[in-house]
Amino acid sequence: MSPSTLTLNNGHQIPWMGFGTGSALFGRDATKLVVQAIQSGVTHLDGAQIYNNEDSLGLAIKESGKPRAELFITTKLKPPSAGQTVDVKASLKESLRKLQLDHVDLYLIHSPYPANTEGKLQDIWKQMEEVHEAGLATSIGVSNFRVEDLQDILKIAKVIPAVNQVELHPYVWDTARQIVEFDKQHGIRTASYGGLTPIVRAPGGPLDPVLETIRKRLEETRGSPVSTGQALTKWLLHKDAVVITTTTKASRIKEFQDTENVPELDEKEIQAIDDAGSKKHHRAFMHVVFGETR
């Protein structure tokens, strides 16, 4: 059985599944759906300044009545425009005002770009360490960082990033593998977003028959229904990843949570997914960071 929480390098626990307020909720009032997620048992909420809905996330937290201590809240530093100076503390304080919180559990640099092309990543990380020191963020980390971006900040880091949240699924495993392995070597927890891309954004690919075969085996072993999404999410858990997902349906949230109870994949099945994924490359987000065209 998969663990309900995973341990970060500073000893803090992070729920393995997080409800994201980006993609489908980008720029939209997320109040109703976040309340629904919390009522469905979700305790990990993943927001970002660039999603333009932190105020509704904060309202949902308040309306849910869930004690703050029982929630894990993430937000992310908005990527600056080219040449723009970043004030991390002021930016986080503005987020905390919108969220109606005195701290977040995790604060991430949303993207290394364009700071990585301007030689500013190290300065931003030093500022991240300052908000951590000030108690405004229990844990700090990064998002969409490649190995070279991580290497840049690790040269000066006093605090190792707790998390690197990246697009992670079999159709980017060809490039993501080295990031996941580097994260693991340095005690950085990989978090995934866009994990169901092979099903929802790139159906009809080489992964489809492989996932269906595995889904059937899991269902037979379990003796109750298993979805293709659960089979794919199980693959992410085998990569020791935190899984961030977004849905408008309470039933889908329950299905994600139920992935914990789905039997484990065996080594051959994990390898079969890796191999099928390597036959197609499909990145849905952050093309500019990876130098890819859409």
Annotated binding site for substrate: 110
- Measured from the Cβ of residue 189, the count of other Cβ atoms closer than 10 Å reads 22
Query: In one letter, which amino acid is 163?
Result: V
Distance of CA 275 to the CA centre of its chain: 23
Q: Which residues are annotated as a binding site?
A: 110
The set of catalytic residues is 51
User: How many angstroms separate the CA atoms of 53 and 60, rounded?
Assistant: 11
Q: How far apart are CA 5 and CA 19, in angstroms?
A: 14
Q: Among the residues of the chain, which ranges form H helices?
A: 31-39, 54-64, 88-99, 121-133, 147-154, 173-185, 197-200, 207-222, 228-238, 250-258, 267-277
Q: At what angle do helices 207-222 and 228-238 cross, to 10 degrees?
A: 90
Task: Report the SS3 class of residue 80.
Answer: coil
Residues in the chain: 294
Contact present, 141 and 111 (Cβ < 8 Å): no
Q: Would you tell me how many other CB atoms lie within 10 Å of the CB of residue 272?
A: 19
